[in-house]
Chain A
Amino acid sequence: MLSKSQARAFFLGGTVVTFLIFIGLTIYSFQPKNDQTNHHQIDANVIRGKQIWEANNCMGCHTILGEGGYYAPELTKVIERRGEGYVKAVLQSPIPWGPRGRKMVKYEMNDEDTEAVIAYLKWIGNIDLNGFERVVSPLAKDKE
């Protein structure tokens, strides 16, 4: 029968081995040759967009890359789906946006911030998501 010290060895051994593999795979994933995100295209505007995205907790309602709240539309491909003009109208709307009843927070963003958010969403839209980009709702190009 298994003894207590064997059980402890199983715990410690398994933890150390899988931990090392995990760190190895993490390093592998972030090698420049494995980049799927166009990392070099992250410019000041994209960064500013990300900061605005975070400062307003947009993720509290929307998902991006499939992560966030489930209350409002997935935004990974929003620029491709709706176009820049539409997104601009949403961000600058003087009343809470909500053509289908469910309301968004009113942000009345200025042009500069709006451009930054759009730059950020454009960068997001070009990431290679291992196939998820073709499933995530509802992708204009997959609609007949």
Chain B
Amino acid sequence: MKYKSQKVAYWFFGLCMLLFALQIVYGFIMGFARIGWDGLHNVIPFNTARAVHTNLLVVWLLTGFMGAAYYIIPEEAQRELVSVKLAYVQLISLALVGVAAIVGYHFNHWEGRKFLEIPRELDYLVVVNVLLFLGLILATLFKGKRKTTTALVLTMGLVFAALLYLPGMIWFDSQVMDSFFRWWVVHLWVEGVWELIMGGILSYLLIKLTGVDREVIEKWLYVIVGLTFLSGLLGTGHHYYYIGVNKIWLIVGGIFSALEPLAFLGMALFAVYMYRKGEKSHPNKIALFWTIGASIVSFIGAGLLGFAHTLPQTNIYTHGTLVTAMHGHYAFWGAYAMIVLAIISYALPNVTGRKRYDKTSGHMAFWLSNIGMLGMTVAFGVAGVAQVYMERKMKMEFMEVQNEISIHFVVLLLCATLFATGILLYILEFIKYGRPTDEALEVKSY
């Protein structure tokens, strides 16, 4: 750690761990409900559990991105954050808004739009909170000694992500328009601007971990984010095939979304190639595993599994089935969860001064969670394909099919247990690192 204010990141990462743990609890509630163990139905019905599970996911990832920015931007800009106090204010208000939203979901208080369930009055608070965050980051960047491409791409991703929250706040009388603009948020986030955030963090980590020349890394970063927008913007069309808008999207969405995996392939090749090329061997092996892992798993989860149902001819059968849930899990895990876990693994030794670089429990956390998540993906996938055949080809009743495939959710729960064990180990490691210390400032942080 070079700058004292980078310590703020630690508390953001702490909030991440807490919200992530809760997200998993609600995942289990849904998994059990699906095999008939729905004892909590009266208190936490499935729609509550689902809203909590997915919103906590989005909030902990955003918290992680913010923590990453508070850690990376001072170092890239070569100065302290403009205000540490305001950064803590931002953290606490973020946590409060998040808790208010989650509590509300248990009392039927929400907006009822998938992924954008946060009720309107809290939306405004989110906007204020994010403006404060962006203000701090932008001020630090512009007052800084240098403006690197890595910092610019990361900041651009954060600014666009904030702007794209706005189309989700417009009310439409038509369900079709509602859904159309909901995708401006959901799709353009995960297959657009969040990839800039991921690319920025990845680039920073590769510079630090491999020692390859910054100019080379940043050149390829531009190519990757170029591919992202080139394919991802018009690729939004893959959500417009069957919701009641013009057929033109079948062609446009089909072609451009089929190109989207290229950006993720670019990310994977980028990371692996830089790792091979690098002369420096950084001692933080755990961070290296998460970094390279994120680039590869995101290619499989988002690129390959996304491609598997993105052509209109396939999507007409898989649209709105468990096949989507399969892809949703592995894509979010590989691209965004793993990159946040990577930056946390990299930053912790530097802010606490404890070099738990290569501990067995850290490696176990990586492998257990990854094997568990892969198993969950397969379970969702098998259930999804079976569902598509029975329901959409053989025209069986929905609930009849659900009873046939419930066995796959037993497998899902077993794999989820493995996954949760890995994450538990990760969180225990986080706790063992202890609090940030100012002595860490003197430790050389590579």
Residues of A bordering B, CB below 8 Å: 2-4, 7-8, 10-11, 14-15, 18-19, 21-22, 25-26, 28-30, 34, 36-37, 39, 42, 46-47, 50, 53-61, 63-74, 96, 100-103, 105, 120, 124, 127-132, 135-139, 142-143
Which residues on the B side are within 8 Å of A66 (C-beta)? 242-243, 319-320
Q: Is B397 a contact of A138 with CB atoms below 8 Å? A: yes
Q: Which of A54, A61, A130 has the most CB of B within 10 A?
A: A130
B240 to chain A, nearest CB (A): 8
- Listed from nearest, the 3 A-B pairs whose CB atoms lie closest are A60-B47, A66-B320, A132-B242
Q: Choose from B176, B223, B403 the contact partner of A100 (Cβ within 8 Å).
A: B403
Q: Which of B175, B176, B321, B398 has the most CB of A within 10 A?
A: B175
Q: Is A59 a contact of B176 with CB atoms below 8 Å? A: no
A1–B57 alpha-carbon span in the complex (Å): 41
A99 to chain B, nearest CB (A): 8
Q: Is A2 a contact of B223 with CB atoms below 8 Å? A: yes
A29–B253 alpha-carbon span in the complex (Å): 13
Q: Is A57 a contact of B51 with CB atoms below 8 Å? A: yes
Chain A minimum-CB-distance residue to B325: A70
A21–B232 alpha-carbon span in the complex (Å): 12
Which residues on the B side are within 8 Å of A54 (C-beta)? 111-113
Chain A minimum-CB-distance residue to B181: A26
Is B283 in contact with chain A by the CB < 8 A criterion? Answer: no
Is B443 in contact with chain A by the CB < 8 A criterion? Answer: no
Which residues on the B side are within 8 Å of A2 (C-beta)? 219, 223
Is B14 in contact with chain A by the CB < 8 A criterion? Answer: no
Which residues on the B side are within 8 Å of A46 (C-beta)? 173
B155 to chain A, nearest CB (A): 15
Q: Is A59 a contact of B316 with CB atoms below 8 Å? A: no
Known: A50-B175, A55-B108. A137 touches B230 (CB 8 A): no
A80 to chain B, nearest CB (A): 14
Chain A minimum-CB-distance residue to B178: A50
Is B252 in contact with chain A by the CB < 8 A criterion? Answer: yes
Q: Is B219 a contact of A69 with CB atoms below 8 Å? A: no
A19–B133 alpha-carbon span in the complex (Å): 26
B252 to chain A, nearest CB (A): 6
Which residues on the B side are within 8 Å of A138 (C-beta)? 391, 395-398
Q: Choose from A19, A96, A105, A143 the contact partner of B233 (Cβ within 8 Å).
A: A19
Chain A minimum-CB-distance residue to B229: A15
Which residues on the A side are within 8 Å of B247 (C-beta)? 130
B143 to chain A, nearest CB (A): 23
Q: Is B174 a contact of A39 with CB atoms below 8 Å? A: yes
Known: A7-B219, A47-B173, A71-B46. A102 touches B399 (CB 8 A): yes
Which residues on the B side are within 8 Å of A61 (C-beta)? 45-47, 50
B197 to chain A, nearest CB (A): 15
Which residues on the A side are within 8 Å of B45 (C-beta)? 61, 103, 105
Q: Choose from A34, A120, A131, A142 the contact partner of B316 (Cβ within 8 Å).
A: A131
Q: Is B248 a contact of A29 with CB atoms below 8 Å? A: yes
Q: Choose from B48, B237, B242 the contact partner of A65 (Cβ within 8 Å).
A: B242
B404 to chain A, nearest CB (A): 12
Chain B minimum-CB-distance residue to A49: B175
A33–B244 alpha-carbon span in the complex (Å): 13
Which residues on the A side are within 8 Å of B38 (C-beta)? 102-103
Is B329 in contact with chain A by the CB < 8 A criterion? Answer: no
Q: Is A18 a contact of B234 with CB atoms below 8 Å? A: yes
Chain B minimum-CB-distance residue to A101: B36
Can you pick out 29 interface pairs between chain A and chain B where the beta carbons lie within 8 Å of each other? A2-B223, A8-B222, A10-B222, A10-B223, A18-B233, A29-B180, A36-B176, A37-B244, A39-B174, A50-B175, A53-B112, A55-B108, A57-B111, A57-B112, A57-B117, A64-B175, A65-B242, A67-B179, A71-B46, A74-B320, A102-B399, A103-B38, A128-B244, A130-B242, A131-B242, A132-B316, A137-B395, A138-B395, A143-B395
